[in-house]
């Protein structure tokens, strides 16, 4: 399952590591946009297969941030 950016912004913090397991609603990445922290949670539990962004990257709305299996 792909975790996508809900809005345009920069990646402020990556809250999980590759291979780590995450629970439903757990924050995967925190974006910074409009001077606000924008948590991007996992929709369902799984394991982080791939992180597609690094801290400081700009992402557009709909960009894939991580892949959860």
Partner 1 sequence: MSYLEEFQDRVSKISQGGQAKYHQKNEEKGKLFVRERLRRLFDESMNIEDAFFANCMDESLPSDGVVTGIGKINGQSVCVMANDSTVKAGSWGKRTVEKILRIQETAEKLEIPMIYLVDSAGARITDQVEMFPGRRGAGRIFHNQIKLSGRVPQICLLFGPSAAGGAYIPAFCDIVIMVEGNASMYLGSPRMAEKVIGEKVSLEEMGGAMMHCSVSGVGDVLVKTEQEAIAYTQKYLDYFPKNFREKPTVKDKKGVKQIEKNLADLIPTNQNVPFNMYDLIDQLIDEGSFCEIKKKFAPELITGLARMDGRAVGIIANQPRMKGGVLFPDSADKSAKFVQLCDAFNIPLLFLVDVPGFMIGTKVERAGIIRHGAKMLATMSEATVPKISVIVRKAYGAGLYAMAGPGFEPDCCLALPTAQIAVMGPEAAVNAVYANKIQELPEADRAAFIKEKQEEYKENIDIYRLASEMVIDGVVKPEQLRDELIQRYSLYDSKSVTFTERKHGVYPV
**Residues in the site for partner 1, rule: CB under 8 A?**
6-8, 33-39, 60-61
Q: How many whole angstroms separate alpha carbon 33 and alpha carbon 67? A: 22
Are 10 and 56 in contact by the 8 Å Cβ rule? The answer is: yes
Q: How many whole angstroms separate alpha carbon 45 and alpha carbon 58? A: 26
Question: What residues does 2 pair with on adjacent strands?
Answer: 67
Structure-token match 């974006």, residue found? 31
Smallest distance, partner 1 to C-beta of residue 32, A:
8
2 vs 50, beta carbon nearer partner 1:
2
Smallest distance, partner 1 to C-beta of residue 44, A:
16
12 vs 50, beta carbon nearer partner 1:
12
Smallest distance, partner 1 to C-beta of residue 3, A:
15
């Amino acid at each position: 399952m792909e975790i996508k950016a809900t809005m345009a912004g920069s990646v402020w913090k990556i809250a999980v590591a590759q291979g780590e397991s995450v629970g439903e609603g757990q924050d995967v990445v925190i974006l910074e946009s409009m001077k606000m922290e924008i948590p991007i949670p996992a929709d369902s539990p799984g394991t982080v297969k791939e992180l597609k962004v690094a801290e400081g990257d700009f992402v557009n709305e709909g960009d894939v941030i991580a892949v959860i299996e």
